[in-house]
Chain A
Amino acid sequence: MFDPYEILETQRMFSQEHLDVRTITMGIDLHDCASDSSAKACQRIYDKITRLAEHLVSTGEAISREYGIPIINKRISVTPIAAIAAAADDTDNYTNYALALDQAAKTVGVNYIGGFSALIQKGMTRGEKNLLKSIPEALNRTERVCASLNLGTTRSGINMDGVREAGLIIKALAARSADQQGFACAKLVVFANAPDDNPFMAGAFTGPGEGECTLNIGVSGPGVVLAALKQAGDCTVDQLAELIKETAFKVTRAGQLVGSEAARRLGVPLGILDLSLAPTPAVGDSIARILEAMGLETCGAWGTTCALAMLNDAVKKGGIMASSRVGGLSGAFIPVSEDEGMIHAVEAGALSLEKLEAMTCVCSVGIDMVAIPGDTPASTISGIIADELAVGVYNNKTTAVRLIPVPGAVVGDKVSYGGLWGDAPIMQVNPSDCSLFINRGGHIPAPIHSLKS
Chain B
Amino acid sequence: MKTEANKDQAIITVVGQDRPGIIAGITTLLAGHAINVLDINQTIFHETLFNMIMLVDLAACTQSFDKLQQELEQLGRQLGVDIRMQLTAVYEAMNRI
Contact = CB atoms under 8 A, between A and B. Distances in A.
B1 interface: yes
Contacts of A111: none
Interface stretch (B19-27, B28-36, B88-96): B88-96
Interface in A136-158: none
Contacts of A66: 65, 86-87
A4 interface: yes
Contact of B94 (A4, A253, A260): A253
A2 B11 contact: yes
A254 B3 CA distance: 12
Which of B3, B38, B90 has the most chain A CB atoms inside 10 A of its CB?
Answer: B90
Q: Which applies to chain A's interface (DSSP): helix, strand, loop or mixed?
A: helix
A4 B93 contact: no
A10 B90 contact: yes
Contact of A254 (B43, B51, B53, B90): B90
A257 B90 contact: yes
A7 B53 CA distance: 8
A1 B95 contact: no
Contacts of A7: 11, 13, 53, 91
Contact of A68 (B41, B51, B66, B86): B86
Given A7-B11, A253-B93, A68 B84 contact: yes
B68 to A, nearest CB: 10
B41 A4 contact: yes
Interface in A1-47: 1-4, 6-8, 10-11
Contacts, number: 65
Which of B3, B38, B55 has the most chain A CB atoms inside 10 A of its CB?
Answer: B3
Interface in A179-212: none
Given A66-B86, A68-B84, A257-B89, A10 B95 contact: yes
A67 B90 contact: yes
A112 B69 CA distance: 30
B39 interface: yes
A207 to B, nearest CB: 27
B91 A2 contact: yes
A260 B1 contact: yes
A65 B84 contact: no
A382 interface: no
A393 interface: no
B94 A254 contact: yes
A292 interface: no
Given A1-B55, A7-B53, A257-B3, A250 B88 contact: no
Contacts of B95: 2-3, 6, 10, 250
6 contacts: A2-B95, A6-B95, A7-B13, A67-B87, A257-B1, A257-B90
Interface of B: 1, 3, 11, 13, 38-39, 41, 43, 51, 53, 55, 65-66, 69, 84, 86-95
